[in-house]
Structure 1
């Protein structure tokens, strides 16, 4: 090893080539490569075979009729894989999963549950490491460098809608759990997920899918040379009714256009995205309404719940290398709108007109990131320093209105918010010996916000800042085993309206005790990763996370609100086994203990915090001929109130896929969702609501959103 790192060492050591690595592996999936073939490909992109193993689970068969493979260009700006609970997933691995909704493909991240408690156009609900993350409060999601979590949002802090995701376009998914990585800031205490789309596709695709409950989907993807680069175009349309008594009536249209030039280390891309959807929602329903025969399991209390949403974005990325290292920059502008109609408590607050409310969120977001990784040495030891800045500004109109059957009755609030933030981060990484590596860094975040409220007493300005250390130690490998120790601080921002407000405009978002703007968290982790058995990668991690204030879901408003401090500790066990080039096995288990860390006579359990999450899967397939996948997902019982007197039931689901690849480029697959026709729940809460004829104070009860019954979906794809 030379004393001064080369550009090859830089890409190997820093991991900036992880996205390229993943996409190269994904492209090779089409021919189910041997290990030797993979090494040759990785050499071509200047990443050693050792890094390939460390960065990503070993490649197995792809089991998808529509996945086309391709090249991820400069999409990923990766941090080193310096944790037992971080990694990269290829697009082929992600697309091998039979799923009910687009967001569920992110369950390829070990230990992550992605579910839904409302209509299909609403943001998914996430669970990870003992967190009910609601719609994204403490998991940071990114697509091509654009943040998906929306702060100071009408429905919930950190609301992250990924329904516009096109899984077939995904080249790589990079995940980090815990607040240990300098590029992760707001909403990343439980973890972060970065999704990168392909710059080009190996083949064009035309896909159509039909299935139970009115499911229809059409997708077309093409790549054409243009000038010195390539133009990728993708269009998607989908409709879906679901098994509900009142159909979802989902109508979704989606488009992507990307122009790119160059390579992962020297190139640029410009991407435009457009998405719109509307739907009717069957929200969670009270168990007593079903038990008493008022509605069926798939019925609804308010048939006019639902909404519409749209998102338009323009983003660009640039990467360049020189003698000093790698420079990368990205920028984006996003315009989004959401109209959401919900009725969670029915006739508790208004026994005449009902409790439906309209949440309005309109915003324009602009921001970007720039970083440089400097190569060098320290006392003759290979070293690199990463320095970066991030900025983001949200211009928001956020409103809450009382409605009946989606018709306006009265206003609760209608506010204008300007929220801006900036961050500076630094990370020093040194390879002291062949068996000792360190990462020492910090991140500094500053926030400013201005609120102009229709309730003047709630207008105001707020400022806050936080500095967090990020430390990592890697030992090994010894006997094909590496040990990892990580420590770091994180945070989530609160809805700034709760920071400036002094009076309650009949919304529990606000109270006379102002919320803190930024809430700190502290994480600890020790783990190991082992590859002593050929084809098998297994990792084990012990973690702890302390939060100064938990954000909890509130059923009466459909929002998240600050609550008490919490502590979580747990264990994760992850396994990926490429048995042969055509057969792969997976198995994951997470067990977490989540408690409030202060005393309160109401109890110390964190509502909706999962104790046990498990999954397993088998994937098989050849480039031509039969392919398939069988997935199992277990979502354990959870306390629903602080004293654990009311609990949810466990949910265990099987999904399956079988298909055939013809030599003329046609692929046919059949997905069977909820194979066992389980009558379990997607999500369960417990709170007070009131049905007609019940006491004025209402009744506390489990409210649930059921799992859809067995459904089949037939997909035909042509690749040319």
Structure 2
């Protein structure tokens, strides 16, 4: 809901690929001849409403593939979004779902992958990796809820493993959040809305500092849109940039976050239709009801980064970064009720509520070096990079009693140490004026040391210690290349091939395993079009892709986490277009199709249409974002206005046992107006108040009670999506540069 709030960074960001202009100097009068008379006083410039600052910036590198998007948020920040994670919807083929609650990481669907909460998508924040290895909720868990949306200036979304700089978890792609605050000054924004939701944001950038220096604070809390959905969290982010002479800059970044949330979990469709849930007879009360109130979670994150950027005398550049992340989470979920427990003889089932606990420390170094090589009188774009990352984590899953919540069974309990060392080289060649070749190779090594603390105390040979050590090591080489043919000055054809890797979950390792990773092979071909003028920018892309993964995972309701299913394959396509009329209109639309399946037994890997379809992955996705800004003059005062619309279309998702979910159509809208330093906004999410299911499953469960016989018939379960949600916002701008006289 942050887009109805004055988005300081977004309002000052240039639209995507807008022509870069130098700042226009203020008009000044010609010098007056010497005179003792006092010169006439110049009138103060009138404050601007809903303006977009255009500042000089470095040219962006060319895309590494047709699916490589450098997305400047720009005016599309006006479209209602609940968190920074929702910005991912600006990339084609992305769907988000959340069955856990306000504060639980979003499940990401991208490029035909059910990427879970991060197992198939590499997440980075200003270069700092966010994926958490061997997380109890799922390997690669990445929670971006702590990112303050007002500080997000741009995203780079690379779909597919085509950039040599992409590392672990970059199977479906890589997402990097890039932070900046272009408009300087202080913004204070407060909002209140449906279900007692409250939000307070403060963002400050000192006038004399660059856009890389800022401080942001965000506080959120609310009752949620139904029982057991309350939440509260706080986040702070700060960054400072220091110049060390004329050729070096030091950037310091830190963030802290803490929050908790309650979750309603899933309910059986048959119970909801029959009105058997204990929340009242009303249809809406049944739809938003729950079984187990002991569901929810909490988390903390503390992150620090030091980055040194140096420009070398030969024209090269060296960037070095060190980072540390401290993380702790605990979540409780119940997907099956009273089905899995095998109680002691004579006792009732104790319930299937699962507690997942994770605590970890990540430290690392990363860097890249551009040597400034010149061949035949021409500079050659060559880049060398490296990554060293060490994780030490405790990951544990336990069953909790239905009454009292005490743990009664440990499912796994591991102490894990992981070292990931990686290096890459990328280069570009242009054998013809119309043909460019870009690519390189990446080398990664993974070393796992696991202490399994949940082994039996005795086996067939007698008593033993309930611990066991496991070690695994692997080395993988991943070449990646893209050919770009310039068909016309505005139209290019890009074809890419790449290999990637995803490290293994510690829970799935065997001792002395030599290859603790999954291999991904992907290819893509597509067209890219761009036309730019001083006032108008038009961009369009389309692509066809195919991907194969040697070891994949699918969500398992009984385990409450992703479980291995063997090899998988994808075939898909997307099309996207964006039109920007600078400072007035910004429209982006996309449509994507993908089919994910398991390969048929004995079939050729090229027969991508054979084999059973993987469940839960939508095959057809559509997205529209639009924002219109304008100004009116009333009683001599300039008033800025804005109207924004967002729309998501989600096709039926395949479910287990040849079932399909219902399609989803959602609309969000926002309006706002600004007078001088004060702005009022109103956002409405789910504008048409559609009754929809954010997550939907099909499996066997027993929520009737601990002594009730369990049915072996699979039925639909779902997590309800939010109804119409309205929020009003008051924002005050203080000490803004262009509001000054």
TM-score normalized by structure 2? 0.83
Structure 1 residues 205-284: aligned runs within 5 Å: 205-224=187-206, 232-246=214-228, 248-262=229-243, 266-284=248-266
**CA distance in structure 1 between the partners assigned to 2:311 and 2:584 by the alignment:** 37
User: Which runs of 5 or more residues in structure 1 are unaligned?
Assistant: 1-22, 43-63, 503-513
Q: CA deviation at 1:412?
A: 3.0
Structure 1 Cα separation of the partners of residues 16 and 155 of structure 2 = 20
The match for 2:290 is 300
- 1:205-245, Cα deviation, whole Å (9 max, x unpaired): 10111110121000111223799998532211110222112
What do the CA deviations read for 1:529-553 (whole angstroms, capped 9, x no partner)?
Answer: 1135863211111111111121111
Q: Does the 8 Å contact 2:193/2:727 carry over to 1?
A: yes
Structure 1 CA distance for aligned equivalents of residues 440 and 213 of structure 2: 38
The offset of 1:82, in angstroms, is: 2.9
Q: Structure 2 CA distance, aligned partners of 1:35 and 1:229?
A: 18
Aligned to 2:303: 313
Partner of 1:662: 675
Structure 1 residue 341 corresponds to structure 2 residue 332: yes
1:126 to 104, 108, 114: 108
Q: Is this contact kept in 1: 2:414–2:452, CA < 8 A?
A: yes
Where does residue 644 of structure 2 map in the other structure? 629
From 647, 651, 676, the counterpart of 2:664: 651
1:691-710 correspondence runs (5 A): 691-692=703-704, 695-696=709-710, 698-710=712-724
Counterpart of 1:331 in structure 2 is 322
- 1:425 corresponds in structure 2 to 424
Matches within 5 A, 1:426-505: 426-454=425-453, 455=455, 456=466, 458-500=468-510
- 1:262 deviation in Å? 3.8
How far apart in 1 are the matches of 2:729 and 2:484? Answer: 44
d(CA) in 1 for partners of 2:417 and 2:411?
20
Contact 2:257 2:301 in 1 (8 A): yes
Aligned residue for 2:654, secondary structure, equals coil
Superposed displacement of residue 411, structure 1? 2.8
Q: Tell me how far apart the structure 2 counterparts of residues 112 and 486 of structure 1 sit (CA, whole Å).
A: 20
Provide closer, same or farther for how the CA distance between residues 637 and 88 of structure 1 changes in structure 2, counting only shifts above 3 A.
Answer: same
1:384-428 C-alpha deviation (Å, 9 max, x unpaired): 211111011110011112212433233333221111110010011
Which residue among 561, 569, 577 is the counterpart of 1:575?
577
Report the CA distance shift for 1:291/1:101 in structure 2 as closer, same or farther (over 3 A): farther
Q: How far apart, CA to CA, are the structure 2 residues paired with 1:203 and 1:717?
A: 13
| Mapped contact 2:148–2:237 kept (Cα < 8 A) | no
Shifted more, 344-353 versus 328-337: the winner is: 344-353
The 2-side partners of 1:652 and 1:621 are apart by 25
SS in 2 for 1:159: coil
Which residue of the partner structure matches residue 70 of structure 2?
88
The 1:401–1:202 alpha-carbon spacing in structure 2 relative to 1, beyond 3 Å, is same
Structure 1 residue 201: deviation in Å? 4.6
In 1, are the aligned partners of 2:551 and 2:566 still within 8 Å (CA)?
yes
Give the Cα separation in 2 of the matches to 1:691 and 1:488. Answer: 46
CA-to-aligned-CA distance 1:628-674 (integer Å, 9 cap, x gap):
21111011111112x5x1111111100001111212x2121111000
1:684–1:703 Cα contact (<8 Å) kept: yes
Indicate the residue corresponding to 2:692 in structure 1.
680
2:167 aligns to what SS in structure 1? Answer: coil
Comparing 626-635 with 367-376, greater Cα deviation is found at 367-376
Cα distance in 2 for residues equivalent to 1:616 and 1:91: 14
Maintained 8 Å contact 2:189/2:732: yes
Distance 1:328 1:619, change over 3 A: same
Residue 632 (structure 2) pairs with residue 618 (structure 1): no
Using a 3 Å threshold, how does the CA distance of structure 1 residues 442 and 403 change in structure 2: closer, same or farther?
Answer: same
Residue in structure 2 matching 1:165, options 119, 144, 147: 147
Change (3 A) 1:72 1:609: farther
Counterparts in 2 of 1:504-519, with a 5 A limit?
517-519=516-518
Contact kept, 8 Å, 1:476 with 1:482, in 2: the verdict is yes
Question: How far apart are residue 344 of structure 1 and its match?
Answer: 0.8
1:586 matched to 2:620:
no
CA contact (8 A) 1:402 1:408 kept: yes
Farther-moved stretch of structure 1 (96-105 vs 423-432) = 96-105
Q: 1:306 to 1:265 in 2, by over 3 A?
A: farther
Q: How far apart are residue 431 of structure 1 and its match?
A: 3.3
**Distance apart, 1:134 and its partner CA:** 1.1
Distance 1:629 1:374 in 2: 45
TM-score w.r.t. length of structure 1? 0.85
Per-residue deviation at 1:306? 0.5
What is the CA–CA distance in structure 1 between the aligned matches of 2:291 and 2:542, rounded to whole Å? 45
Quick check: 1:70–1:198 contact (8 Å CA) kept in 2? no
Contact 1:348 1:355 (8 Å CA) reproduced? yes
Work out whether residues 94 and 105 of structure 1, in 8 Å CA contact, stay in contact via their aligned partners in 2. no
Q: CA deviation at 1:574?
A: 0.5
Is this contact kept in 1: 2:595–2:613, CA < 8 A? no
Instruction: Out of 470-479 and 514-523, give the one that drifted further.
Output: 514-523
For the residues of structure 1 that align with 2:476 and 2:316, how far apart are their CA atoms? 29
Is the contact between residue 692 and residue 721 of structure 2 (CA under 8 Å) also seen in structure 1? yes
Match of 1:50 in 2: none
1:40 correspondence with 2:7: no
Residue 288 of structure 1 pairs with residue 270 of structure 2: yes
Query: Highest CA radius of gyration, 1 or 2?
Result: 2
The alpha-carbon deviation at position 382 of structure 1 amounts to 4.3
2:21 is paired with a residue whose SS is: helix
Alignment of 1:98-137 (within 5 A): 98-137=80-119
How far does residue 326 in structure 1 lie from its aligned partner after superposition? 1.1
- Secondary structure (helix, strand or coil) at the match of 1:289 reads helix
Residues of 2 paired with 1:228 and 1:696: CA distance?
Answer: 63
Aligned length: 658
Shift of 1:441: 0.5
Note closer, same or farther for the CA distance 1:597–1:551 as it changes in structure 2 (3 Å cut): same
Call closer, same or farther: CA 1:674–1:484 in 2, change over 3 Å. Answer: same
Provide the secondary structure at the position in 1 that maps to 2:271.
helix
Task: Report the aligned-residue RMSD.
Answer: 3.1
Contact 1:68 1:204 in 2 (8 A): no
1:565 corresponds to: 567
- Rounded to whole Å, the distance in 1 between the matches of 2:484 and 2:576 is 18
Equivalent position SS for 1:346: coil
Show structure 2 runs of 5+ residues with no match: 1-6, 25-48, 278-285, 342-347, 456-465, 604-609, 632-638, 735-741
